[in-house]
Structures are given as C-alpha cells and as structure tokens.
A and B are shown apart, each in its own frame.
Chain A
Amino acid sequence: MPINSQPVIRLEGVVRTFGAVRALDGIDISLPAGELVALIGANGSGKSTLLKILLGILSADSGRVEVLGLDPRRNRAALSTLVGYAGQDVALDPEITGIETLQLFHALRGHPGVDRERKISAIVEDFGLENFGERLVGGYSGGQRQRLHLALELMHEPQLLILDEPTTSLDPSGRRGLWDRLAAWRDAGHTVLLTTHDLPDVTTYCDRVVLLRNGKLLANDHPQALIARNSRAGTVITLSRPVADHEAVRRALEMLPGSPEIAIEGFTVTVWRNSHPEINEPALDILASLGMAVNRFERIEPNLANAYFRLGGAPLEQTRRPGGGGRGRNRRS
C-alpha cells in the first residue's frame, strides 16, 4: 500500500534531445500518489521518451527526475521492485504456460518461495486466469494475453504502475475490463500512469490528464477541469448540398451569441459554443435563410477530445472514431 504525500513522480525542467530534435523541452510535472493518470499526446509528442526516462532506460540531458524519491537512472534495480511497467507489446513467451510464466516472474521479482503457491493462486483468481492458465501462452486470445501481461506487472504490488497504450489490442469488453481493473488498483491506493488515445475512457476513469505536444507540457489537470476550461459544445449540421460560399456562411453564423467558432467541411457545418442553446437551434434558421436545406443535426457535449484539440493536440483524424460526427472540429476551415 502506498505510502506518503511525497510525489510519486517529480520532473523539473527535464530536457531530452535526439540530435536536433527536442523530444522533451523543459517538462515540469509532479504527480501525487494514488491517482490514475493518463499521459496523452500525438505520436512524437514525447510520451515514450518520458516513459523511458521514468524507467531509467534513458537519461535526461538536463533537469531533475525522481520516481518514488529515487533517481531512476541510478536506482534501476531498486525501482524494479517498486515500479511495474507493461509496454505496448504484450511480451510473453508462447512456449510456456501462464502459470509457469507467473512462477518465473514470482522468482524474478525476488518473492520468497514459501508463499508462492498461495500468491500465484490469488493472482490467477484476481485476473480470471483459471480457465486458461495451464495452457501454453501461444494459444491465448488477445484479451487473455493482456490479462496475463498485466498480472505479471501487478503481482509484486508495485507502488507505481506504468502502462504504454494498454488498450490498443482490446475489444470493447476487454477495454472496459482493463479500465475497471486499473481503477480498482487506484482505489486500493496505488498510482497508475498510462499512455492512451481512448479519450472518452480517460474522462470516465482518470483522475488526471497530462498532455504533451512537441515535447512541451500543455496541460496537467483533472479531466473535468480541462473540459470545463477548454472544451465547447458543438452542433454538427449536415446539409443536403456542399457549402459553396464558406465565408458567407461563416460570417452569418458568427453573429450568433456566445462567440461561436465555425468549421465547414463539404456537407457539414459545425458550430462550437460554450453551451448549447436551451431552445431551438438558431443556426438552423440562419442556414435556412441562406437557402440551405438541412438534412439532420447532432449535438456534441463538451468533452475531453474537444478540449485536447483546443489545447493544441494532434490533428483530429488521429483520434476520430467511426460515427463520431464532427467531434473536436474546432479549427476554422
């Protein structure tokens, strides 16, 4: 069980360069214990470099790094017993069984042999490995591999668990199972830091979001606080014909109250405001007055994805989901 009020992770002015590229550019982060923290950002934003520095695999060019009060570069052996790390690739040996894998890692973690059977039985039960634990790992499904993958990193009850895109290969039920498990782990007082692109799940489960862009820290706050400060309500309007005169439509819609931002793309016009109008959507009347027929419209509540893009996250296309409408289309076209 953790520990104290000391930050689990403390970074001060951390810089790391690769040639001419500044992968991390003066990062200051302090993460308290007992939180589920999402590290988000586009590919190349510096997430992986940050994780490698926290794990002691890379050193910072300058700045101060502390994990659980220790310099990770100098205390890798000590931190290996305090930190769990599960990389993006589910690195398992296909030629041994799940139970054999657990027995191996039980030894590698330096646990005493006397309570091995009890401990491994508890893990098997906790992670639902009963039905396939005796089978060779090579025959596991993606979800089963992910469960074993995570069990290996939690079996030594690390004070800090670091996960690199753990939900990538999971189906929706597997993803929910994983998030529930991580939340339960957090509720038991441990700290979890993970990278992910699942922004809706981050909103639901995480206590904190750390957003990087081009090696710089853009945000470090609770998801709801980020949404409240940076996200807006959107109305996505689908027209029967593509918009011909973008400027005329934009000028007309910008007259609406609440300083709306307008995005136009093909058949779709998106109006972003601080909140939805309580009664009818006045944008529909304006479009009708311009001779445009509306096929349908959809309202989008303020969300983390939108906050992310408004803060300067990666292009929308990187996280748009099927059926996601115009979520996050906050840029002027």
Chain B
Amino acid sequence: MIVTLLHIVWQTALRTWRKTLRRPVPLTFSFVQPLFWMLIFGFLFHRFTLGTAYADFSYLDFLLAGVCCMTVLFGASQAGIGIVRDLQTGFLQRMVRASAHPAAILSGKIGAEVTRLLLQAIVVGLLGIALGARPRFDIPSLAVAALALALFAIAYASLSCWVALKTKAQESVAVFVHIVNMPLLFTSTALVPARQMPPWLETVARWNPLTIAAEILRDALLFQRLPDPMRLLPLAILGVALFTLAAHGMARAADD
C-alpha cells in the first residue's frame, strides 16, 4: 500500500518536474522578479535604519531572507494554474478516476512544486550573495529554515490548487494571486522589520505566515539561530489544513 502511494507520488512529481523543465521561459523569469526586488529595494533602502536588532547588517542582508520567502510565495501561488490546465483538458479527471488515491496525486504535485520552490529560493539566495549580501549561517539552522519554507510552500500551493479546483478558471487563479500576494507581502516582515511598522500593522504581521517563515529564515541566515519548534507549529497546521482542503477538491475532480 505504502509502496503504491509512493509510486503515485513519485510519478506525479516526475510529470510536474518534466513539464517545468520543458517550459524554461517561465522558470527563467521566476528569477528575474526577485533579482529586481533585491536590486531596486536594496538600492532604495540601503540607508534604511533596521534598528538595534540588525545593527550589524546591511539592508540587503536583511532583505535576502524576505526575497527568498517572496519567491516561494509567488511561485506557490501559481501552482493552481497547472491544475486548471489539466482540468480543461480532462487529464486531471482522468488521473483521479484511474487512481484510488487522489490525495497521493495532489501530494506528488505539491511535492514537486515545493522542491522546485526551495531550489529557486537557493538560487535567489546565491543571486543575493552575488549582489553583496553576506549571510552567516550553519547547516542545522538552515535545515530548519528550509523546513519552515517548505511548510509555507505546502500551505500556499495547496490553497492555490484548491482555488483552481473550485473555480476551474485560470483567470480566477490570476485574481487570487493578485488579491492575496501583495497584501500578504506588505503586511509581513519580508521587507521591513516589525519594529519599523505602525503598531496595528505589527500585530497583523505577527500572525502573517509569511512573517513566520521569513523570520525563521532570517534567524538562520543572520544569527545561526534555531527557532523555537512552536514557531513551526502554525505553519504545519496551516499546511495540513489547506492540503486537506485541496485533497478534498481533488477527490471531487473526477465528478466533472
């Protein structure tokens, strides 16, 4: 049973990776946006006062973790587009009908997206270093940060897939991306520390999952600090909840 499930997950992931690699243009462009953010924001805010907590770091050092998380956010939010394409061709319905395990199909899809997004985040990190950022990390704290990013990616990719499964329209996924991404980004600490925000925004930012992921990554990249495991809990709960929601939608896809 477990072997069968893993086989489905692996083959579904393999399909997603193959399709990604056969469309190199969107993959290439996915690096351009974070590069611009680091160039423009890094230049614009290079004299920005980060506060005492980050006194030893440049704004680019601070920004790097935020842009890595932003890359994951924007990439994960588009996971549903492939689902819509599959729904429109009827291929998704066919896959779900063929299998007794629709959640395994979703796992493969989300797993492939998360792997890609983590690799993209690493490439963005390397681009940041090339632009002058100086992260100081160790392996354990970086591994925990990668786990936090993966949980965030699972949650957000699942949400995107659920929107796609419910609406079955690329336009709806695009609207979802525009409506949700920017508010989520600007109410987080991806770009500025919480201490520099107005009090109400600081409160909102504290509950923003992007903040949680960005702060864990920032702690790893700048302070080699392992997070309190309880900080991972909200991301894990969100990931499980949204994945369950999307898996339910996936199981119903065969009804179309």
Q: Which residues of A contact B (CB under 8 A)?
A: 55, 57, 76-78, 80-81, 85, 87, 89, 91-96, 100, 103-110, 112-113, 136, 152
Contacts and interface: CB of A to CB of B under 8 A. Distances in A.
Interface in B1-15: 3-4, 7-8, 10-12, 14-15
A96 B89 contact: no
A92 B98 contact: no
B253 to A, nearest CB: 11
A89 B89 CA distance: 8
A92 B19 CA distance: 13
12 contacts: A76-B254, A93-B91, A95-B18, A95-B23, A96-B15, A96-B19, A103-B11, A104-B11, A107-B4, A107-B8, A107-B10, A110-B99
Contact of A96 (B8, B18, B98, B254): B18
Contacts of A103: 11
Contacts of A109: 98-99
Interface string B1-40: 0011001101110110011001100000000000000000
A104 B12 contact: yes
A106 B99 CA distance: 10
B105 interface: yes
A91 B18 contact: no
A110 B4 contact: yes
Nearest to A81: B100
A91 B90 contact: yes
A94 B89 CA distance: 9
B97 A85 contact: yes
For the complex of A and B, the 3 pairs showing the least CB-CB separation, nearest first, are A91-B90, A107-B11, A77-B100
Contacts of B18: 95-96, 100
B8 A93 contact: no
B93 A91 contact: yes
B94 interface: yes
Contact of A92 (B14, B89, B97): B89
Nearest to A109: B98
A118 to B, nearest CB: 16
A91 B100 contact: no
Contacts of A93: 15, 19, 86, 89, 91
Given A91-B89, A113-B3, A108 B95 contact: yes
B11 A80 contact: no
Nearest to B12: A104
A135 to B, nearest CB: 13
Interface string B212-256: 000000000000000000000000000000000000000000110
A78 B86 CA distance: 24
Interface residues of B, number: 28
Given A81-B100, A92-B89, A95-B19, 12 more contacts: A76-B254, A77-B100, A80-B97, A89-B90, A93-B19, A93-B91, A95-B23, A96-B15, A100-B14, A110-B101, A113-B3, A152-B94
Contacts of A89: 89-90
Contacts of A55: 97
A136 B159 CA distance: 30
A136 B22 CA distance: 10
A93 B10 CA distance: 17
Most-contacted residue by chain B among A93, A94, A95, A136 (CB, 10 A): A93
Contact of A110 (B91, B100, B254, B255): B100
Contacts of A95: 18-19, 22-23
B97 to A, nearest CB: 6
B99 A108 contact: yes
Nearest to A55: B97
Contacts of A57: 254-255
Contact of B100 (A80, A92, A96, A106): A80
Nearest to B22: A95
Contacts of A76: 254
Nearest to A86: B94
Nearest to A136: B22
A324 B143 CA distance: 73
Nearest to B255: A57
Nearest to A57: B255
A329 B210 CA distance: 71
B90 A87 contact: yes
Contacts of B105: 108
Given A57-B254, A95-B22, A108 B8 contact: yes
B22 A107 contact: no
A112 B1 CA distance: 10
A76 B97 CA distance: 8
A76 B3 CA distance: 21
B182 to A, nearest CB: 30
A22 B153 CA distance: 47
Contact of B15 (A104, A106, A112, A152): A104
B91 A108 contact: no
Contacts of A91: 89-91, 93-94
A76 B90 CA distance: 18
Given A57-B254, A100-B15, A113 B7 contact: yes
Nearest to B8: A107
A63 B151 CA distance: 47
Which residue of A85, A108, A113 has the most chain B CB atoms within 10 A of its CB atom? A108
